[in-house]
Each structure stands twice: as C-alpha cells, then as structure tokens.
Structure 1
Amino acid sequence: MANLSLCCWIFIAQGFGHRDNPLVADMNEVAQRAVALDPGDSEVVAVAALILGVSGDMETGLALVE
C-alpha cells in the first residue's frame, strides 16, 4: 500500500497526471491505510510520511516522522 501511494506520487511528479486525476486522487488515503495496516514497519511509515507531506498534509507527515 505504501509503495502504491509512492507510485501515485511518481505519476504526478513526473508530469504524467495531476492530483485530481482519478487514478491517483486517493493517494493520501492509500498512504494512511498503509500505516494503519502496519504502523511498526519503519519503511511503510517513512513512505507514508513522504507522501502525506508532499501532498499537502504536512502536519500528519511530520507526526509520522517524529
């Protein structure tokens, strides 16, 4: 789930689509779901923090980093 949200971000960052694109519109929800499934996995938490931070939810991203 975390890697799926990362792929969605790459889709946007590389200019293939916009955040409003239905293919990637649920990127934040996917990242949050990944953390909910395995909050003890540091790689999942790191990827989710990145995705949430760059997509506008900086407070949640920072909380995950801490």
Structure 2
Amino acid sequence: MLEGKAVLRETDMPEAMLCHAMELAYKALDLHEVSDCQSIARYIKQKFDDAYGPAWHCVVGKDFGS
C-alpha cells in the first residue's frame, strides 16, 4: 500500500469501519485508474453494502467546492 494515496477529509465512523473504508479505498485505487472516480466510488459502495447493509453513499473526487 502506498501511504497518501487516499485522503480522509471528514468522518464520524467507528474506528473499525474507518479502517475498513481506508483498506477498500487503497484496493479501489489499485484496481482502477485514479481519474476513474465513478468506478472507485462504485467499488467502495458495493463493498460497504455487502458488509454493512444497503444504503451507503460514497463520493470520490478532488474538486468539491462549497
């Protein structure tokens, strides 16, 4: 795993779930092109749905203005 590939900005997840999310993010980045945000998000969402039940959302990208 390469440190710094995934960056966590905000969470209120329990520690174990956060670790799982980061592992999935690293795996998704290994499987997909960094620019393919839609595939990365789909991968993480599907794995979370499988592990914790449906209704998860995953947003991947770099330009989120407010």
Give the structure-1-normalised TM-score: 0.32
Higher helix share: 1
Give the structure-2-normalised TM-score: 0.32
